[in-house]
Homo-oligomer: A and B are copies of this chain.
Amino acid sequence: MSIQTISIPAHERESSIPSFDATAFSLETFSSWQNLAAVLDHTLLKPEATRAQVIQLCEEAAAYRFACAMVNPYWCGLASSVLAGTGVPVGVVVGFPLGASLTSSKRDETERLLRLGAHDVDMVMNIGLLKSGEYEAVQQDIHNIVELAHGSGAIVKVILETCLLTMEEKLRASELAMAAGADFLKTSTGFSTGGAKAEDIGLMRGVAGGRCGVKASGGVRTLADAKAMLEAGASRIGASACIKIVGELGAP
């Protein structure tokens, strides 16, 4: 299938897709460090992270009111107990970072994590399956997770791993993730050959319009990085340097 068949003609797009005003969103977000904190996923996914480091991450997420504290599955229960009562949600990763788990294992993992209190579920699309042209299976793999998550009041971000995809694959993956009900399209795991790029954010936002969120992740380390991503259309950012980033905007 060529790109044309999955792109929506401009005249239809205008009528059917709600738009997203990146400039206005960006201006509002950068008007205070608190507003910025509210779109940052405070993230600690390195495999060697200790229990003490996970606790610290969660305490920081609560103190700064970050969008969520994002941890590896093993630490989900711990994060839930540290964040209990704070109103700051727990984020977890599923099928991470390769996306090549069994569909049933992604489902098992999600069920367990939802029971442990996860609210943001960042799952990795099955990249090899996309590259094999098996689009229905890719969409189903995502839809299973979306169904479980939405049934528990949780949300799903679908990681495309843009650095491994061609332009056509990025468009296709975005369409499939949205068709599967994703709440966010997300660029990167941070464990592959590259991270978020403004041009990929623009592409993903172009496909999504205002129908879902776009999360930039991987290599976002400074306020300038965050600005570039939001101006390109991101509505959420994942980073391990969140405290440094809001600090640049005046956070204590």
Identify the A interface with B (CB < 8 A).
45, 47-54, 72-76, 96-105, 108-109, 112-113, 124, 126-129, 131-132, 134, 161, 164, 191-192
Contacts and interface: CB of A to CB of B under 8 A. Distances in A.
Contact of A129 (B74, B100, B109, B112): B74
A103 B53 CA distance: 19
A189 to B, nearest CB: 9
Contacts of A104: 112
A131 B72 CA distance: 15
A105 B97 contact: no
Nearest to A101: B73
A131 B50 contact: yes
Given A49-B100, A50-B131, A51-B132, 10 more contacts: A47-B97, A47-B98, A47-B128, A47-B192, A48-B127, A73-B101, A73-B105, A74-B100, A74-B101, A102-B112
A92 B54 CA distance: 29
Query: How many of these chains are in the complex?
Result: 2
B128 A50 contact: yes
A168 to B, nearest CB: 14
A191 B191 CA distance: 8
8 contacts: A45-B100, A47-B99, A47-B124, A49-B100, A51-B132, A52-B132, A96-B98, A97-B191
A60 B48 CA distance: 35
A105 B72 CA distance: 12
Given A74-B100, A108-B108, A49 B191 contact: no
A105 B116 CA distance: 13
A72 B95 CA distance: 11
A112 B73 CA distance: 19
A47 B54 CA distance: 27
A129 B127 CA distance: 29
Given A47-B127, A74-B126, A134-B51, A105 B108 contact: yes
A109 B105 contact: yes
B102 A109 contact: yes
A100 B76 CA distance: 10
A138 to B, nearest CB: 11
B100 A73 contact: yes
